[in-house]
């Protein structure tokens, strides 16, 4: 079952913050976040495993609430390079055997 991402699109000015949500109606093993720029392959950002955790590097972090089956991606002090489409991909079992089920994506536009 496809996870639901919100919002569908965000327009920000450089330096502003953004939150992108990803929710599932099914129990999840992990949530993966990717960013894709136009005409390029999706680039892995981070993975969050069940058990509920938070991760982050630089100004991009994420959380996974296992009880709600919801993950959020936090972009703080956004930079122009953050523009792109953000996808969450979910796994219901571990190890990659089932592949990822992706949401429809959130389009993020950062303006100077």
Partner 1 sequence: ETGVTQTPRHLVMGMTNKKSLKCEQHLGHNAMYWYKQSAKKPLELMFVYNFKEQTENNSVPSRFSPECPNSSHLFLHLHTLQPEDSALYLCASSQGLAGGGTQYFGPGTRLTVL
Give 70 or 78: the residue with its C-beta nearer to partner 1.
70
CB of 104 to partner 1, least distance (A): 5
Number of H helices, E strands in the chain: 0, 11
Q: How far is the CB of 64 from partner 1 (least distance, A)?
A: 14
Nearer to partner 1, 54 or 111 (CB): 54
CA distances for 97 relative to 7, 29, 102, 112, angstroms = 29, 12, 15, 42
Q: Please state, in angstroms and rounded to a whole number, the distance separating the CA atoms of residues 42 and 33.
A: 9
What does the block give as tokens for 52? 């509920």
CB of 95 to partner 1, least distance (A): 4
Q: Which is nearer to partner 1, 99 or 112 (CB)?
A: 99
Q: 60 with 45: CB under 8 angstroms?
A: yes
Residues that bind partner 1 (CB under 8 A): 2, 29-30, 32, 34, 40-44, 47, 87, 89, 91, 94-105
Residue among 32 and 78 whose Cβ is closer to partner 1: 32
Closest separation in Å from C-beta 105 to partner 1: 6
What the block records as the tokens of 79 is 């930079």
């Amino acid at each position: 079952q496809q996870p639901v991402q919100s919002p569908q699109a965000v327009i920000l000015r450089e330096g502003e913050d953004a939150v992108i949500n990803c929710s599932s109606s099914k129990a999840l093993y992990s949530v993966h976040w990717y960013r894709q720029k136009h005409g390029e392959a999706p680039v892995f950002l981070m993975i969050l495993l069940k058990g509920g955790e938070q991760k982050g590097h630089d100004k991009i972090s994420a959380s996974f609430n296992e009880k709600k089956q919801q993950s959020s991606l936090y972009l703080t002090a956004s930079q122009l390079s953050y523009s792109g489409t953000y996808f969450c991909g979910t796994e219901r079992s571990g190890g990659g055997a089932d592949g990822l089920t992706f949401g429809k994506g959130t389009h993020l536009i950062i303006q100077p």
